[in-house]
Structure 1
Amino acid sequence: PGDVVAVGLPRRAELVVTLLAVWSLRAAFLPVDPKHPQARLDTLLDTADARFAVLADPQTTRPDCRVVAPPAGDPLPAAAPLPAGDPPTGDDLAYAMSTSGSTGRPKVVGVSHAALAHCVVTFADLLAPGTPTVAGTTALTFDISLLELFLPLATGGRLLLVDDATRRDPARLGGYLSAARPDLIQATPSGWRLILPHLSGDLAGRTLLCGGEAVTADLAARLVDTGATVWNVYGPTEATIWCTAHRLGPPVPDPVPIGAPLPGTVAVVRGRDGRPVPVGQVGELHVGGPQLAVGYLGDPERTAVVFRDDEYRTGDLCAWRPDGTLSYHGRADNQVKIRGHRIELEEIETYAERHPAVIQAAAVVVTAAEDDQRLVLYVRTGGDGPAVTDVALREHLAASLPTALLPQRIVALPELPLTPSQKVDRRALREAATAHIHRRAGSEETPS
């Protein structure tokens, strides 16, 4: 009881069986992607203090972690039945989920059974799906996948666990969903932009969840035009999947509200002085209630900073609307969302600055098109060693960072621009990166 078990398996029934087996022993699971760099996996296992790992391709060997592979073929019969143990309690840890960390080390959020159960039951009541057929299209390392997995299992419904090859191909996924006709489909706005052109048939009576990053009014309107019931949902990992929801209908407002707090969830918009702000004024969103995570595993200092007085400081800037819903107004820090992936820009910068030729680094995100955000890394190089090449720096980053955190472009500068207060001028860097994208687009359209 209380152990953390890392799980990295293909998307088959055995994956779900493994998660439930971990729970049957009152342990918690930590989803991992075996394709991530070995250094990244090692860091995650260390941070979560994972003593066991179940991996399809167990290449990692760790003295303090027992790594096992699932049996090939049919499982062997048990030599003896396991002794019946006590079922998990609400206070027991259900899962640990990693997110990007600004210190260069990923954060691992611990979530209890009570918090997960509250989220699943709340959505069962909110969506009133009865015994739904739910499409499982999201990677297990993204916490919204857990609603896809456990909502149907908790309500006597059916889970359609979509394999990796299908879910990564928008055309195949759209065709599969059109034929299978699940009652509930969930995706990020970036995902919906890719899937929508390939969906066919009547979506009336279906429910679509859209969340994980800000949704534009035009995309929300396209989702509503399908005839399905559409919800815009919001929630940080630290508040267990989703904690606000807004049912969309014509006409779709712009900006699109992230909704009202779910039953039991407490939401407060606070100003710089920590006091609640009036309706219409932008402040930092704090959330609390039964869906709150227990904190960051192995990091009590960071937990104490953002989990205070039974509230979690989200870092998201929001404002109350007169109708009791919340509108989203960006971040109070350098955290960004790219295709649903939560990324701390400082983590990329930290790893870049660990290269001996890099003195300083700054990462920015620019929008090349409505559904195309790009990560650009600026570096100031120097020192006595040879100049770092783009290829060498990419290899250095790829040794520790997952693909979602790797920049699409790296630019070396003699000096990084500074603001009058001597901080890196990220606005100037974003403007330079945007201008470069537009110049390239123009040169591609106009042959020389």
Structure 2
Amino acid sequence: MSEQKLYPQFRNAAEFIEFHCNKFSDKPAYHCLGQTLTFAELEEKSRSLAKWLQYECGLQAGDRIAIQLPNITQYPIAAYAALRAGLVVVNTNPLYTPREMQHQFSDSGARALVILSDMLPKFEQIKADTGIENVLVTGAADLIAPPKEKTHGYHDFVAALEQGAALPKLQPLTATREDIAVLQYTGGTTGVAKGAALTHENILANAAQMLDRISQRCAEGEEIFVCPLPLYHIYAFTVNMLALFSLGAMNILIPNPRDLDGFVKTIEPFQFTGLAGINTLFVGLCRHPGFQALDFSSLKVTFSGGSALTSAAAELWQSVTRCPVTEGYGLSETSPVATLNTFDAEEIGTVGSPLLQTKVEAWDEDGNTLPVDEVGELVISGPQVMLGYWQRPDETAKVMHNGFFRTGDMGMVQANGNIKIVDRLKDMIIVSGFNVYPNEVEDVLTRHPQIIEAAVTGTEDDKTGEAVVAHLVLAGDISEQEIVEYCRQELTGYKVPKHVIVHKELPKSTVGKILRRELRDQPVPAAEPA
């Protein structure tokens, strides 16, 4: 395995950004809310903002800046500006509660914040408990129709761009590949969120690793990718804002992917060639009449990541779009992509093979490497693996061993080299001593034509220790007994749900991932299916 640095010509992400902005200067880079921004315009606006951050805010190299925006063009402008100014980007979910905002801002030590105007009331509640000194506010449509007057007492995004353009040259950047570029908070669905410290090396390596695969199918300067996954999520941050950006692709930003009517209307005029999503999005789009009527003749890449791809979602997507789903796997701690299926040889049920310079193994409880086809904890090593958790050496020590990151995911390395994820270690249910992996049961459930969504959790059981609980969203009339009988035909007895709970909708993260944790906390009815 070669240990040569990926993208060796760049000392840091700022040089990477500037090089590609100049290389593709006249091509469209981002489209959002009816407005298209070229690479040249992106370079100019991000440079102006970077200067403003340096001169007007007095921010120094290594200072942290939180960006709390949805998928609007201001996001890449702010992120590229921050990196060009030598700052560390703290990606922040716009839907966070004040408590979550306060934790992330304080834990990261952020000195500046770029925030959507709609979020200001939440920030006002906690600003005294943070170290944030400079707040930059934007409305979603401000780049299209700049506000005539400020309705807040903070800095205005558009005004900062104008002021920055008149400032002296950008101060030279001294960041090296080993310096931190991004703090990506993770663990919010499992406990207190920790900041995965991703270096310039990590994110540049992962962009190069993904480009190595993407280039097998996509051409430089010709692609149009739909981007519904949030840019504050490390997947879209690295894959869309770095890898596809370096291919000269145009990204169509979708601010609110749950508005399927608006989603379809946004992408309808384009001969889009790629899209990344997850199960719930694939199914929702494929059930939308307007989406079904679109022209998919140019679509050649559909990526899936973030949650396990069900066979039902993959089959539905391919039947509607004629494009197979190529599933990958990664985590915030791996910048994020570690594995990806091979184009034209996708193996549904696996997450494909490790990327360039990446090693994936399955370990037993003692840290020994298991043979092929044996289930253990998946561990990853490679240039995209994080430096560690921000200011949490104890937490870092728990997950880093001999250069490998312990994922907490159970899986196996198949004889063909593809990696199969069985489930999260903590989500595993033990019924009478037998291991039940929710992903497997969910995959069976969602194949039933009357079941739209499924999530499987465990609950305490006097006889078996734990019992399987199926949480379902239904498309039509079907009884609990019919569901259980269907499962008995497809699953060994101990895997069959003992409890079935029907919901109008399942709780999801902002990325659309079903939150099993919230379902586990809900009471389970005493009555059982016969």
TM-score, scaled to structure 1:
0.73
Match of 2:62 in 1: 2
Distance 1:284 1:139 in 2: 28
Match of 1:66 in 2: 133
Asked if 1:324 corresponds to 2:417, the answer is yes
Residues 238 and 440 of structure 1: CA distance in aligned 2, closer, same or farther (over 3 Å) = closer
Distance 1:96 1:155 in 2: 25
Match of 1:260 among 325, 333, 353: 353
Match of 1:227 among 322, 336, 339: 322
Match of 1:77 among 149, 152, 163: 163
What residue identity is the alignment partner of 2:310? T
Distance 1:375 1:315 in 2: 18
Distance 1:186 1:102 in 2: 22
Distance 1:281 1:375 in 2: 23
Asked if 1:292 corresponds to 2:382, the answer is no
Match of 1:217 among 311, 331, 346: 311
Asked if 1:437 corresponds to 2:508, the answer is no
Match of 2:467 in 1: 427
Distance 1:87 1:13 in 2: 27
What is the 5 A alignment of 1:108-257?
Answer: 108-128=195-215, 129=218, 130-131=220-221, 132-146=223-237, 147-164=239-256, 167-197=257-287, 198-199=291-292, 200-225=294-319, 226-228=321-323, 230-247=325-342, 249=344, 256-257=349-350
Match of 1:31 among 62, 70, 91: 91
Residues 418 and 40 of structure 1: CA distance in aligned 2, closer, same or farther (over 3 Å) = farther
Residues 376 and 243 of structure 1: CA distance in aligned 2, closer, same or farther (over 3 Å) = closer
Output one character per residue of 1:267-297: Cα deviation in whole Å (capped at 9) or x when no partner.
1111122111111111111001101011111
Decide whether the 8 Å contact of 1:288 with 1:310 is kept in 2: yes
Asked if 1:280 corresponds to 2:340, the answer is no
Distance 1:236 1:137 in 2: 18
Distance 2:391 2:428 in 1: 21
Residues 23 and 203 of structure 1: CA distance in aligned 2, closer, same or farther (over 3 Å) = same
TM-score, scaled to structure 2:
0.63
Distance 1:179 1:434 in 2: 48
Question: SS of the residue aligned with 2:67?
Answer: strand
Number of equivalenced pairs: 369
What residue identity is the alignment partner of 2:399? V
What residue identity is the alignment partner of 1:180? F
What residue identity is the alignment partner of 1:22? A
Decide whether the 8 Å contact of 2:196 with 2:332 is kept in 1: yes
What residue identity is the alignment partner of 1:435? H
Distance 2:182 2:72 in 1: 19
Measured after TM superposition, the shift of residue 244 of structure 1 is 0.4
Distance 2:463 2:387 in 1: 38
What is the 5 A alignment of 1:89-104?
Answer: 89-101=176-188, 104=191
Distance 1:6 1:335 in 2: 35
Residue range with higher mean Cα deviation, 294-303 or 5-14: 5-14
Distance 1:428 1:223 in 2: 29
Output one character per residue of 1:245-275: Cα deviation in whole Å (capped at 9) or x when no partner.
113658x75x611111001111111112211
Asked if 1:372 corresponds to 2:462, the answer is no
What is the 5 A alignment of 1:334-349?
Answer: 334=427
Distance 1:280 1:53 in 2: 47
Distance 1:90 1:214 in 2: 32
Residues 299 and 33 of structure 1: CA distance in aligned 2, closer, same or farther (over 3 Å) = same
- Give the alignment's Cα RMSD to 1 decimal: 3.3
Match of 1:339 in 2: none
Distance 2:86 2:226 in 1: 27
Is there any run of 5+ residues in structure 1 with no aligned partner, and where? 337-363, 379-415, 442-448
Q: Percent identity?
A: 18
Measured after TM superposition, the shift of residue 312 of structure 1 is 0.4
Distance 1:139 1:18 in 2: 15
Distance 2:375 2:498 in 1: 27
Residues 310 and 80 of structure 1: CA distance in aligned 2, closer, same or farther (over 3 Å) = same
Decide whether the 8 Å contact of 1:96 with 1:111 is kept in 2: yes
Distance 1:72 1:170 in 2: 29
Which is bigger in relative contact order (C-alpha 8 A, separation at least 6)?
Answer: 1
Decide whether the 8 Å contact of 1:203 with 1:228 is kept in 2: no
Distance 2:503 2:398 in 1: 43
Decide whether the 8 Å contact of 2:226 with 2:252 is kept in 1: yes
Decide whether the 8 Å contact of 2:272 with 2:299 is kept in 1: no
What residue identity is the alignment partner of 1:372? E
Distance 1:194 1:428 in 2: 26
